[in-house]
Amino acid sequence: MIIDGKQRWARDYLPVKNPATGEEVGRMPMGSTADLDDAVEAARRAFQSWSLTPDAERKQACHAIAAKIEEHAEELARLITAEQGKPLSGPGSRFESAGSAGWAHYTADLELSPEVIQDNNEGRVELHRKPIGVVGSITPWNWPMLIAVWHILPAVRTGNTVVIKPSPYTPLSTIRLVELMNEVLPAGVVNVVTGPDEIGAAMSAHPGIDKMVFTGSIATGKKIMGSSAETLKRLTLELGGNDAGIVLPDADPKQIAEGIFWGAFINTGQTCAALKRLYVHDSIYDEVCRELVTLAENVPMGDGLDEKNVLGPIQNEMQFNRVVELVEDAKARGGRVLTGGAPRPGAGYFYPITFVADVDHGVRLVDEEQFGPVLPIIRYHDLDTIIDKANDNPHGLGGSVWSADVQKARDLALQLECGSAWVNKHGAIQPNAPFGGVKSSGIGVEFGEEGLKEYTTVQTVYC
């Protein structure tokens, strides 16, 4: 762990295993609540001066972090592959480390200047944005480093200090990231405490933490919200999704297949805003299914360290068992497996790309978030009711409409109840566009100026 700029060792360690092989690739220090207290105290001390550091210096420090990530991009990518499983190639760990550097540079350049709301003979009113204090960050195992960057960079850019707790499945890249950050930041500005879920619970109840930023499941998000109430912590919650994709009858199956495929299966489907329910009009249903199956059978999946692979394993046993369970349930309820449909024998948590046709609402694979390499394909006939049907789900992270008529697709996309809606693509995010969920998928947004504002409080000054 890194606390107050120094390495901190633990008494106990948890093995971290490569999900492609089962091999131990490192060990996670089992931090205690005493370690957490020390980290929060260090962050509170650092806040005294970091919050008053000139904006230009904080901007420069954020660029220096980005440069560190660039300099160590390959090392970090290899760590991510080792602990997370995603391949070095394709939209895998090199993509994640390059994205982390790019995101950090972009966030460094964002500004939140004071605004003048009124300046006339009745007086002057100014709006200032101030850092909140100590930010507690809790991250998941699917994009461990990118999400850490999404949490840490806007926090430190705006003058906050941070204590981050990565997922116990993928702590190694975050520990190294924070170590690199500490080469360019004053001690205590960013600290990492690793350990069991209980450390996360202790963070959200901690009186020394002023804001929580959390990316993970809805169930954990609710717990964090509950325990944050006592100390009235500010919250940004990026939670689960069950994104619908709607294919209109005028879409060209050949043209859209690849976009749908990667929209659903980037990171082997373990992505919050992946396409997780596909609705296809009856008139082109079979053709769309055929195109998708052809793609699935030609995309190499395997050990991430092998450069030819572009899809990796499921990250952990619990998630693997969940995917197995949802597919078995769908089969038992009349789902027709078009390809895949059973675990791959041999080492690692490998489950092939799987399409399940002829399922509908009421089947768990459709109603719940699968978070894995399986996509249910739902047949529909009635265009007038398809938006209501897609919206009939508690999640609200992303959604997409696929059509030859972009204007018509955009009008329908606007009716989807979700934080991000795409036309003829799915899941594409960028550092200048706010991203967040509605309904059960979260509270608040990340990225861009809107995201930066979440790390500030407003002070209105009347003079």
Residue 371 makes contact with ligand NAD by CB under 6 A: yes
- We find the least distance from the C-beta atom of residue 388 to ligand NAD, in angstroms, to be 24
- We find the least distance from the C-beta atom of residue 401 to ligand NAD, in angstroms, to be 20
Residue 84 makes contact with ligand NAD by CB under 6 A: no
- We find the least distance from the C-beta atom of residue 238 to ligand NAD, in angstroms, to be 3
Question: In angstroms, what CA-CA distances link 119 with 113, 124, 126, 459?
Answer: 16, 4, 9, 17
| CA-based nearest residue to 108, from 41, 63, 155, 170 | 63
Question: Given its phi and psi angles, is residue 414 left (phi above 0), alpha (psi -120 to 50 degrees) or beta?
Answer: alpha
- We find the least distance from the C-beta atom of residue 220 to ligand NAD, in angstroms, to be 3
Residue 267 makes contact with ligand NAD by CB under 6 A: no
> In 300-382, where does DSSP find H-type helix?
317-332, 364-367
Specify whether 289 is catalytic. no
Specify whether 238 is catalytic. yes
For ligand NAD, the closer CB: 81 or 220: 220
Contact between 169 and 315 under an 8 Å Cβ cutoff? The reply is yes
Annotated catalytic residue, options 62, 83, 272, 291: 272
Contact between 233 and 358 under an 8 Å Cβ cutoff? The reply is no
Distance CA 152, CA 146 (A): 10
Segments of 156-268 assigned E as strands:
161-165, 190-192, 211-215, 234-238, 243-247
Residue 140 makes contact with ligand NAD by CB under 6 A: yes
**Applying CB under 6 A, which of residues 79, 104, 138, 156 lies at the interface with ligand NAD?**
138
Tell me the per-residue interface mask from 156 to 185 with ligand NAD, x by CB under 6 A, - otherwise: ---------x-xx-----------------
- We find the least distance from the C-beta atom of residue 369 to ligand NAD, in angstroms, to be 6
Residue 83 makes contact with ligand NAD by CB under 6 A: no
For ligand NAD, the closer CB: 31 or 241: 241
Using DSSP bridges, classify how beta strands 456-462 and 123-131 pair: parallel, antiparallel or unpaired: antiparallel
| CA-based nearest residue to 304, from 90, 98, 86, 93 | 86
Bridge partners, residue 243, by sequence? 275
- We find the least distance from the C-beta atom of residue 429 to ligand NAD, in angstroms, to be 9
Q: What are phi and psi of 70, to 5 degrees?
A: -60, -45
Tell me the per-residue interface mask from 207 to 246 with ligand NAD, x by CB under 6 A, - otherwise: --------xxx--x--xx-------------xxxx-----
Annotated catalytic residue, options 62, 83, 96, 238: 238
Token match 């297949």: residue? 257
For ligand NAD, the closer CB: 5 or 196: 196
Contact between 307 and 326 under an 8 Å Cβ cutoff? The reply is no
Distance CA 36, CA 8 (A): 11
For ligand NAD, the closer CB: 197 or 392: 197
Segments of 75-201 assigned E as strands:
115-120, 123-131, 134-138, 161-165, 190-192
Contacts of ligand NAD in 406-425 (CB under 6 A): none
For ligand NAD, the closer CB: 131 or 140: 140
For ligand NAD, the closer CB: 191 or 220: 220
Residue 141 makes contact with ligand NAD by CB under 6 A: yes
Contacts of ligand NAD in 434-463 (CB under 6 A): 437, 442
**Applying CB under 6 A, which of residues 91, 133, 200, 399 lies at the interface with ligand NAD?**
200
**Which residue number has the CB closest to ligand NAD?**
200
Residue 197 makes contact with ligand NAD by CB under 6 A: yes
Using DSSP bridges, classify how beta strands 234-238 and 442-443 pair: parallel, antiparallel or unpaired: antiparallel
CA angle 99, 406, 432 (to 5 degrees): 25
Q: Which residues here bind ligand NAD, judged by CB under 6 A? A: 138-142, 165, 167-168, 197, 200-201, 204, 215-217, 220, 223-224, 238-241, 272, 369, 371, 397, 437, 442
User: Catalytic site residues?
Assistant: 238, 272
